[in-house]
Amino acid sequence: MIVIVMIIIIIIVVVVVVVVVVVVVVVVVVVVVEVVVVVDVVNKHMKRRRQARGEHQSPMKSSLGPEEETYEAQGMLPTEEDVGAVPDEPAKLQQLRDVCRQAGLPDTDTLNLAQFAAVCAHIGLDSMKDQGIKDLFFTMDTDSDGLISLPEMMTGLPKSSPFYSGVSHPHLGSSSRRHSAGRVASRSRSRSRTRATDRAGVSSGTLTHNYFSGDFSGVFSTVKHNPDGFAEASDLLDFWEGVGVTDGADILAALDFNPQGKVKLADLTAVLSEELLSLAASEQVRSAAILSFQHEVRHLKSAAEQAEAEKKKLRLDLSESTAHNALLAREVDDRHAQLDSSWEKRLV
């Protein structure tokens, strides 16, 4: 009976060791695949961007006079939002479609509840409770089919929301944030506008992989985030301060993220990857990207070393358990031999 118990214990320990080894291998494979996918997507994205820039550079330059082109590049050309004008309904509808693309959603005019919540986070309603978002969605869903159209959403949004009020938000093109971002780098507004579309392309390329791998945090796995990969900007800024980035709020604003709201870490990872490959990236943004990637590498290396140490400990425990079981087995055999000898003597 004791031998059977020992065999069961050995089997359990072996199974635990195998599980730990499999977990370590899976972690390493996921990290490698993530890096390969990000690099591949960024390379394809940069190639498409260079081709598009070559095709559209001449028409864009001819549409602006020399003076207007200079002001446009500096972010000083007044817009409807800057002078307080309210865009018409078609313009707002197109703006809402652009936000959907930025959120990595399919090119469609209908949204389900999860997609509606993602759009709300992108237009400044990320402070609403989950129940509030659900109530707002079901209010707009007049036919109760679980879907709402973009015009229905535009009609049902509160008029006090940033989408209508013009309050600064990373996806609604506030001019005040663009001027504060000028402290980090002298970026052109045209590049700022194209980055939002570029980010949508990178996000859509990595979205499927993120759903399969379960990784929504990019290179910010140590930053506190929700299951969808959104983190409070304050937590991200604290993380950056810990790794040596002191102007994190300006960097987020320059990259079209909200320094006072929530940040989608996968999108931020994709944008930082793009900036590392861009010759026009500012030194502050490049430094923040490098420090973030270096910290993630150190974190993953530490996790791998810890898993390796646990695996070695399990192997040692298994070895000791095997030796102990062998000793117990010998003692049991000796005891049986003594009992057999004793019974033989009694029978004789």
| Distance (Å, whole) CA 197 – CA 236 | 23
The tokens for 282 are 């500012």
**CA-to-CA separations, 120 to 12, 138, 197, 236, 279, in angstroms, rounded:** 49, 14, 18, 21, 33
* Domain boundaries, given as residue ranges, for the chain: 1-75+201-340, 87-187
What is 94-154 written as a DSSP string? HHHHHHHHHTT--S-SEE-HHHHHHHHHHTT-TTS-HHHHHHHHHHH-TT-SS-EEHHHHH
The Cα 276–Cα 285 span in angstroms is 8
Residue 1 burial by CB count (10 A; 0-12/13-18/19+): exposed, middle or buried?
Answer: exposed
Q: What 3-state class would DSSP assign to 102?
A: helix
Residues 6+ apart with CB under 8 A from 294: 243
Three-class secondary structure of residue 39 per DSSP? helix
pLDDT of residue 119: 81
Task: Give me the residue label for tokens 């859509």.
Answer: 204
Q: Which pair of tokens denotes residue 305?
A: 């070393």
Indicate the fold that domain 87-187 takes in CATH.
Recoverin; domain 1 (1.10.238)
How many Å apart are CA 279 and CA 135, to the nearest integer? 46
Q: How many CA atoms lie within 13 A of 166 on its CB side?
A: 11
pLDDT, position 127: 66
Cα Dmax for the chain: 121
DSSP string, 144-175: -SS-EEHHHHHHHS-TTSHHHH----TTTT-H
Q: What pLDDT score does 314 carry?
A: 92
Query: Parallel, antiparallel, or unpaired for β 110-111 and 148-149?
Result: antiparallel
* pLDDT tens across the length of the chain (348 residues): 677 777 888 888 888 888 888 888 887 787 777 767 766 766 766 666 565 555 444 443 433 444 344 433 334 333 444 333 344 577 778 888 888 877 777 777 788 887 888 888 777 776 677 778 888 888 888 877 778 888 888 788 777 666 665 544 444 543 333 333 444 444 433 344 344 444 444 444 443 334 333 456 677 888 888 887 888 988 889 988 888 888 888 888 888 888 888 888 888 888 888 888 887 778 888 888 888 888 888 888 888 988 999 998 998 999 888 988 989 998 998 888 888 888 888 886
Q: Alpha-carbon torsion 42, 47, 48, 50, what sign? A: positive
pTM of the model: 0.37
- Burial class of residue 315 in the structure, from the number of CB atoms within 10 Å of its CB (0-12 exposed, 13-18 middle, 19+ buried): middle
Q: What sign has the CA pseudo-torsion 212, 218, 219, 220?
A: negative
